[in-house]
């Protein structure tokens, strides 16, 4: 007598890993295609060479800034209106970018250099919690500063009066300027608009991390 042994049905493979991996790759590809690409930062002109005097009395200029991106603004220490706010915003920006350390520099140019001696700039920097490793305050010859700020940065600066004590006559722009590690301007950001200041933070971090 023969014993009937039914043929077992073919077993379906339970190894689904290749299919799962393929599905994950497809999803990542679709997400990558749908994600908006970051536009490259503009190139808005290279700054001319400059050297001024830092708050510690040392010469400081474009040469000392080579190799790292930096953010500039324009202030004077006896300004009673926009400058305190402008400086506080840069102080907050300093905290936001603390993880970048010395890879991102901050530079404040005085538009009232005859009054803003290195000693006064040192006191002003301390008042606003400026990290002297990252944040430089510059003073120097008025006409040379004006040439750099107006001619190089394309930022307004001047006086409506020759009276040195007439601080109400002093005017200057209120934009932050982002400069790359080669000394080229990459963006202007209105300090009065929080969304612009946030965009500055993102763009500055991009420059640091991309090596531009």
Whether 11 maps to a domain, the answer reads no
Whether 85 maps to a domain, the answer reads yes
Query: What's the CATH number where 74 sits?
Result: 3.40.30.10
Whether 29 maps to a domain, the answer reads no
Whether 15 maps to a domain, the answer reads no
CA 191 to each of CA 93, 100, 117, 164, 206: distance values in angstroms, whole numbers, following the listed order: 11, 21, 25, 26, 19
Whether 45 maps to a domain, the answer reads no
Start-to-end C-alpha separation, the chain: 86
CA neighbor of 76 nearest in space, from 42, 45, 111: 111
DSSP 185: E
Whether 17 maps to a domain, the answer reads no
Whether 123 maps to a domain, the answer reads yes
**Structural domain boundaries enclosing 139:** 51-210
Whether 182 maps to a domain, the answer reads yes
Estimate the crossing angle of helix 82-96 against helix 194-210, to 10 degrees.
Answer: 40
Give me the number of domains the chain comprises: 1
Q: What is the DSSP string of 43-85?
A: ---BPPP-EEEETTS-EEEHHHHTTS-EEEEEE-TT--SHHHH
In order along its 212 residues, the chain shows pLDDT tens digits of 444 445 555 555 455 555 555 554 454 554 444 444 568 899 999 999 999 999 999 999 999 999 999 999 999 999 998 999 999 999 999 999 999 988 999 999 999 999 999 999 999 999 999 999 999 999 999 999 999 999 999 999 999 888 888 888 898 999 999 999 999 999 999 999 999 999 999 999 999 998 77
CA neighbor of 61 nearest in space, from 141, 123, 127: 141
């Amino acid at each position: 007598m023969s014993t009937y042994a039914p043929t077992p049905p073919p077993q379906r493979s339970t190894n689904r890993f290749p299919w799962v991996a393929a599905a994950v790759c497809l999803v990542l590809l679709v997400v990558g295609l749908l994600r908006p690409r970051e536009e490259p930062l503009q190139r808005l002109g290279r700054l001319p060479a400059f050297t001024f005097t830092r708050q510690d009395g040392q010469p400081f200029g474009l040469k000392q800034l080579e190799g790292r991106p930096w953010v500039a603004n324009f202030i004077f220490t006896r300004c009673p209106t926009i400058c305190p706010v402008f400086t506080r915003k840069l102080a907050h920006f300093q905290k936001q970018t603390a993880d970048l350390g010395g890879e991102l520099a901050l530079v404040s140019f005085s538009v009232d250099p005859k009054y803003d001696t290195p000693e006064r700039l040192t006191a002003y920097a301390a008042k606003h919690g400026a990290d002297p490793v990252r944040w430089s305050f510059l003073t120097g010859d008025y006409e040379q500063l004006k040439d750099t700020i107006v001619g190089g940065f394309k930022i307004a600066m001047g006086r409506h009066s020759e009276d040195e004590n007439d601080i109400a006559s002093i005017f200057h722009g209120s934009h932050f300027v982002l400069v790359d590690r080669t000394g080229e301007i990459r963006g202007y950001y209105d300090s009065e608009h929080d969304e612009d200041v946030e965009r500055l933070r993102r763009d500055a971090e991009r420059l640091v991390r991309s090596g531009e």
